[in-house]
Amino acid sequence: MQTQTETHWLARLDEEARALVAAVDAQPDGRRLLDGTLDAEGYIHYLVQTYHYARWSTPILAEGGYRLRRLGRHPELAELLVQKGEEEKGHDRWLLSDLKNLGVPEEQVEAAERSPAVDAYTGWNFFTSLAGVPTAVLGTAYALEYLSRTRAGVWAERLKAVAAIPNIHKSVTFLRSHGALDGDHVAEMQRILAPLTDPEDQEAILFSARVARSVYPRIFRESGATSR
Ligand SMILES: [Fe+2]
Ligand SMILES: [Fe+2]
């Protein structure tokens, strides 16, 4: 049975995740993803920047899990982090394959400039994983998987329906797969995080969810660049 405090803390985490969805919807390119009208340039920008953070997901999550194990704290959360690190393996390849089908070769993706949002995201999450409160990474994961559950599948469907981007049918693997997987991943995290009562960990997880909410929406083109 949940106590009042536990209910309260997960409700606050959901609040951060919902605010992230709202902030993404408020970005010009986020709105275009939702109505399916995003152009190729904007979609490529989004996929390239996503690649530059998603390629680090496995080490960020797994290192947090190993460190938690070494510290001898929250064994079930340590396992969850290691498991989530495993789950993220290969997702960067989906991005490279979607980009290749849009005519962007791997070398060009690798050489692309990372946005300040991506540097902030990887910097913050590597810090908490390697040297901060390692459970914090779960706040980032929760917010992004909640966004993914709510938006990734819809974005893929609308992009295909409007078909403003040439070859879009072959270029939504990353979105489609996450839309399918992350509903279950959010439910699993809710179940495992519900019994967590340690206020330091709760605050660290909430804080990282808030960082994700502030930083992630800035991976899109600033003010939607030249798109409609
Ligand atoms: Fe992923
Ligand atoms: Fe996931």
> Is 158 part of a structural domain of the chain?
yes
182: CA distance to ligand 2 center in Å? 5
88: CA distance to ligand 1 center in Å? 5
pLDDT for residue 220 is more than 90: yes
Number of H helices, E strands in the chain: 12, 0
> Is 1 part of a structural domain of the chain?
no
> Is 6 part of a structural domain of the chain?
no
Q: What is the pLDDT of residues 139-155, one digit of tens each?
A: 999 999 999 999 999 99
117: CA distance to ligand 2 center in Å? 21
DSSP letter for 220, please.
Answer: S
pLDDT for residue 108 is more than 80: yes
Of all ligands present, the nearest one to the C-alpha of 91 is: 1
pLDDT for residue 19 is more than 50: yes
**pLDDT, mean of residues 72-86:** 97
31: CA distance to ligand 2 center in Å? 23
> Is 226 part of a structural domain of the chain?
no
Q: What is the pLDDT of residues 93-103, one digit of tens each?
A: 999 999 999 99
Q: Residue 54 maps to which CATH number?
A: 1.20.910.10
What's the pLDDT score for residue 72?
A: 97
What's the pLDDT score for residue 8?
A: 80
pLDDT for residue 224 is more than 70: no
> Is 136 part of a structural domain of the chain?
yes
Instruction: Say what percent of the chain tops pLDDT 90.
Output: 93
pLDDT for residue 6 is more than 50: no
Note whether 209 and 162 are within 8 A (CB): no
pLDDT for residue 57 is more than 70: yes
Residue 81's H or E segment, with its range, is: helix 75-87
41: CA distance to ligand 2 center in Å? 26
186: CA distance to ligand 1 center in Å? 12
Label residues 155-189 b or e (16+ Cβ within 10 Å = b).
bbebbbeeebbeebeebbbbbbbbbebbbebbeeb
Burial class (CB in 10 A: 0-12, 13-18, 19+), 66: middle
178: CA distance to ligand 2 center in Å? 7
52: CA distance to ligand 1 center in Å? 12
Of all ligands present, the nearest one to the C-alpha of 180 is: 2
Token couple for 88: 């993220």
226: CA distance to ligand 2 center in Å? 32
Where residue 120 falls among pLDDT bands split at 50, 70, 90? very high
228: CA distance to ligand 2 center in Å? 31
Per the structure, how many domains does the chain have? 1
3: CA distance to ligand 1 center in Å? 32
200: CA distance to ligand 1 center in Å? 27
Q: What is the pLDDT of residues 154-180, one digit of tens each?
A: 999 999 999 999 999 999 999 999 999
80: CA distance to ligand 1 center in Å? 15
Task: Show the domain range for 216.
Answer: 15-221
> Is 48 part of a structural domain of the chain?
yes
> Is 179 part of a structural domain of the chain?
yes
What's the pLDDT score for residue 228?
A: 43
Burial class (CB in 10 A: 0-12, 13-18, 19+), 200: exposed
Token couple for 117: 């949002």
> Is 171 part of a structural domain of the chain?
yes
pLDDT for residue 5 is more than 60: no
95: CA distance to ligand 1 center in Å? 10
Of all ligands present, the nearest one to the C-alpha of 84 is: 2
The whole model's pTM is what? 0.94
